[in-house]
Amino acid sequence: MAKTKNFDYTIIGGGLAGMQLALAFCRDAFFDNKQIAIIEPEAKVANDKTWCFWEKGAGQWDAILLHKWDKGMFYGPEKDIPMNFEGYSYKMLPSLNFYNYAKAELAKNANIYWIRDRVTKVKGNEIKGAQETYESKWIFDSRVPEGFEKDANSITILQPFKGWVIETENDHFDPESFTFMDYRLGHENKTCFTYVLPINKRKALVEFTFFVPELVNDSIYDKKLEEFISNTLHVDSYSIKEIEEGVIPMSSYSFWKDNNDRYIKIGTGGGWVKSSTGYSFKNTERKVAELVKALKLNTIPKTSFWRKRFRFYDEVLLNILHQQNKKGPEVFERMYAKNEAHKIFKFLDEETTFAEELKIMWNTDQLLFIKSVIDVLKR
Ligand SMILES: Cc1cc2nc3c(=O)[nH]c(=O)nc-3n(C[C@H](O)[C@H](O)[C@H](O)COP(=O)(O)OP(=O)(O)OC[C@H]3O[C@@H](n4cnc5c(N)ncnc54)[C@H](O)[C@@H]3O)c2cc1C
């Protein structure tokens, strides 16, 4: 019989959350004498995602970024709004840059074990893989819980998208400025937008995205991208260099409900995707820092009652998108027209005061927000 392998910490899934957590372990001397495993079935050699995020000033991933912008535009159905960033930059990181960097860093640490296996079951401190069985004092699991798909009580909005990296024959783009959201090309009264990330004058990532309660027919994305590129960007001649697609769940589901003091869900599976935006890259950084701090105190992170207000705001916005999906473009236009972008970024980063939060929501659409607050309170 094969001998069970024992670890202090085991991370299930070597994706964004798993690799960020492992990197944090190897950057802190507290974990030097811990045996740490990452169990991941894939080789992580494909550029399967492009992560974008905003942050103020320099950040820990700057050396591996593809591009960044200090200027951006928001196009609503009615208004063109230049965004005031005031110190924030919008940064673009191809996932392969991140995987290569993380794998190289992790390989320098003899106490970190990268295991190619697929976890099938976790019971107590035992982890069953397709190849072997492992035991671990602490388990960090980035698999999305099965209960999420079946759950009918939470509010869930899906963010399906498709993007093309295109190259044009002539100069077309301003690499200093990007389009954060463009709502001018609608589809059947649904909340949908396009964004444009120019890498140089002839190359850009153009993505078409929905925020919808149910998936939309796959055939729509290519048509919308073609339409946007020719009618809005006025580009006639281009070639598609790369394609990116995916679906991000934005949900009020309690991903953390199976957590205990030795088993913690992380990443999308742990609710680390901000449910009102679908962004999770920076949130992962914050959650990893909280987790590492707690582990050093032999505990797990707890969210205070007062901080839970941000979950409530997320739910209020999700509820609007769920109940009145066609209102999305108007809601986002008002939000960005009446509040400066840097204040919204601070709010979405959950760093605002209660007064700042009320102001942002008041400036957006009082009646709609009040009605949604009542709906959410009644649930
Ligand atoms: C295409 C795409 C683009 C995105 N762009 C952005 C963006 O611009 N900005 C942003 O903030 N967020 C973005 N997101 C959302 C989010 O940041 C990513 O989904 C992110 O990768 C989530 O991190 P994660 O670790 O939870 O999941 P992943 O990075 O997907 O990692 C999960 C890992 O678990 C492994 N795994 C799965 N099953 C098992 C198993 N049974 N046993 C062991 N391992 C297993 C998988 O192989 C995978 O490597 C994007 C999402 C997608 C899909």
Q: Which residues are bridge partners to 196 per DSSP?
A: 179, 206
Q: Is 39 in the pocket of ligand 1 (CB under 6 A)?
A: yes
Alpha carbon of 223 to ligand 1 centroid (Å)? 27
Residue 364 confidence (pLDDT): 85
Mean pLDDT per 10-residue segment, the chain (379 residues): 78 98 97 97 96 96 98 97 95 98 96 96 96 96 92 93 96 97 95 98 98 93 97 95 96 92 95 95 96 93 82 95 95 95 96 94 88 91
Q: Is 352 in the pocket of ligand 1 (CB under 6 A)?
A: no
Of ligand 1's atoms, which has the minimum distance to the CA of residue 118? 42
Residue nearest to atom 21 of ligand 1 (CA): 16
Residue 4 confidence (pLDDT): 62
Q: Output 322-325 pairs: Cβ under 8 A, ≥24 positions apart.
A: 322/155, 322/156, 322/157, 322/213, 323/372, 323/375, 324/368, 325/189, 325/190, 325/191, 325/211, 325/212, 325/213
Q: Note the CATH architecture for domain 5-46+95-151+253-296.
A: 3-Layer(bba) Sandwich (3.50)
Q: In what side-by-side order are the strands of the sheet with 88-94?
A: 50-56, 88-94, 67-69
Nearest by Cα to 303 from 259, 263, 348, 249: 259
Alpha carbon of 17 to ligand 1 centroid (Å)? 8
Alpha carbon of 357 to ligand 1 centroid (Å)? 29
Residue nearest to atom 44 of ligand 1 (CA): 13
- CATH class as words, domain 156-250: alpha beta
Q: Is 274 in the pocket of ligand 1 (CB under 6 A)?
A: no
Alpha carbon of 125 to ligand 1 centroid (Å)? 24
